[in-house]
Amino acid sequence: MNMIDIAEELSRCNRCGFCQTACPIFRITGHEGGVARGRLALLSAIVDASLDWDAEIEDLLFTCLLCGACTTNCFSAVPTADMLVAARRQFLERVGKKPGHRLLFDHLLPFPNRLRLAVRAVSMTQKANLPNLIQALGLLRFLGQSFPLVLEMLGRRMRTALRDRLKPQVLDGQGEHLHIAYFCGCGIDLVQPEAGLATLEFLKRIGQTVEILPNCCCGLPAETYGDLPAAQRMAEKNLALMTSRPYDLIVTDCSSSLPF
């Protein structure tokens, strides 16, 4: 979707306000700018050039969760999430990317080992009661205004990552035919490694071999943030892995992983 498509879709919104009851952001903030019709009004102002692309509109573009609840509750089924992703791409092209953005999408998510080290460092600073120092130094600023909450969550949840327990390798299974590739999602690796271990045990029961792929992030965070080139680079990297051998199945238990 491009800005021309957005202009056409904007005419379908009749400002009825039914999106308010479905929007989780509006429930918390109560701000009209945080609900779908408020964000669509912002896009309309950008399209008709009454509002410029600048840093002042960043929050309104990027605080949407893209959950799609507004579209589900919309009589006209206006695809607000798709429109916002397209607008985010334009924003990044016109206003530019922040250093933290480049750090996350170009230097951490494409490299699982680096990502684990970064998350482990955040967890250690939380346990050592140093979050204020880290924030003052400007490190990990890409975590945004929820920085303290993210630190607290990571400190509670950080366990031995799945990839620290099981490196990329081929595991022998109990099955007779299937050769299965396992795509390990970032959330499973870092937050729910036990779920990944359970999945692998099941796959070994049904497969002759199970290969744990050395894949990187699927690219969904970058794609939803509007950084399509970064998402494409990660997707291409993963596609090269998944097409390197004739797997019978490629399995992931990460619910947010993009379908390739």
Residue percentage of the chain with pLDDT more than 90: 51
Residue percentage of the chain with pLDDT more than 70: 83
Give pLDDT, residue 37.
92
Please give the average per-residue pLDDT across 18-46, as a whole number: 90
Please give the average per-residue pLDDT across 125-149, as a whole number: 47
pTM summary value? 0.79
Write the pLDDT tens digit of every residue in 143-182: 444 444 554 555 555 568 899 999 999 999 999 999 999 9
Give pLDDT, residue 89.
93
Residue 256, domain member (yes or no): no
**Same domain? 153 vs 208:** no
C-alpha 94, offset from chain centre: 22
Residue 117, domain member (yes or no): yes
* Whether the Cβ atoms of residue 212 and residue 189 lie closer than 8 Å to each other: no
Domain end point (choices 122, 141, 157): 157
Rounded distance between C-alpha atoms, residue 220 and residue 231, angstroms: 7
What is the radius of gyration, based on Cα positions, of the chain? 21
Give pLDDT, residue 91.
93
Pick the closest to residue 186 from 243, 126, 113, 251 (CA basis): 113
Domain end point (choices 139, 157, 175): 157
Write the pLDDT tens digit of every residue in 1-10: 777 788 888 9
Residue 31, domain member (yes or no): yes
User: Which residues span the domain enclosing 30?
Assistant: 3-95
Measured from the Cβ of residue 60, the count of other Cβ atoms closer than 10 Å reads: 18
Write the pLDDT tens digit of every residue in 184-241: 998 889 888 999 999 999 999 999 999 999 999 999 889 999 999 999 999 999 999 9
Q: What is the CATH number of the domain that holds 89?
A: 1.10.1060.10
Give pLDDT, residue 141.
42
Give pLDDT, residue 125.
60
**Same domain? 114 vs 192:** no
Give pLDDT, residue 133.
44
Please give the average per-residue pLDDT across 74-95, as a whole number: 93
Residue 67, domain member (yes or no): yes
Q: b or e along 224-237 (b: 16 or more beta carbons within 10 Å of the residue's beta carbon)?
A: bbbbbebbebbbeb
Give pLDDT, residue 124.
65
Which two structure tokens, joined as six digits, stand for 73?
Answer: 């509750």
Selected residue with higher pLDDT from 104 and 251: 251
Residue 259, domain member (yes or no): no
**Same domain? 26 vs 11:** yes
Give pLDDT, residue 138.
43
**Same domain? 175 vs 245:** yes
Residue 61, domain member (yes or no): yes
Residue 246, domain member (yes or no): yes
Domain end point (choices 95, 115, 148): 95
**Same domain? 246 vs 167:** yes
**Same domain? 167 vs 192:** yes
Residue 258, domain member (yes or no): no
Q: How many domains does the chain have?
A: 3
DSSP type of residue 63: S
Q: What is the mean pLDDT of the chain?
A: 84
**Same domain? 8 vs 85:** yes
**Same domain? 231 vs 208:** yes
Selected residue with higher pLDDT from 247 and 132: 247
**Same domain? 129 vs 193:** no
Residue 260 predicted with pLDDT over 50 = no
Residue 45 predicted with pLDDT over 90 = yes
* Whether the Cβ atoms of residue 209 and residue 257 lie closer than 8 Å to each other: no
**Same domain? 180 vs 236:** yes
Selected residue with higher pLDDT from 129 and 16: 16
Residue 139 predicted with pLDDT over 70 = no
Give pLDDT, residue 143.
42
Alpha helices by DSSP H, the chain: 3-10, 19-22, 24-29, 36-47, 58-62, 69-72, 80-95, 99-102, 112-127, 131-137, 147-157, 162-165, 186-190, 193-206, 220-225, 228-242
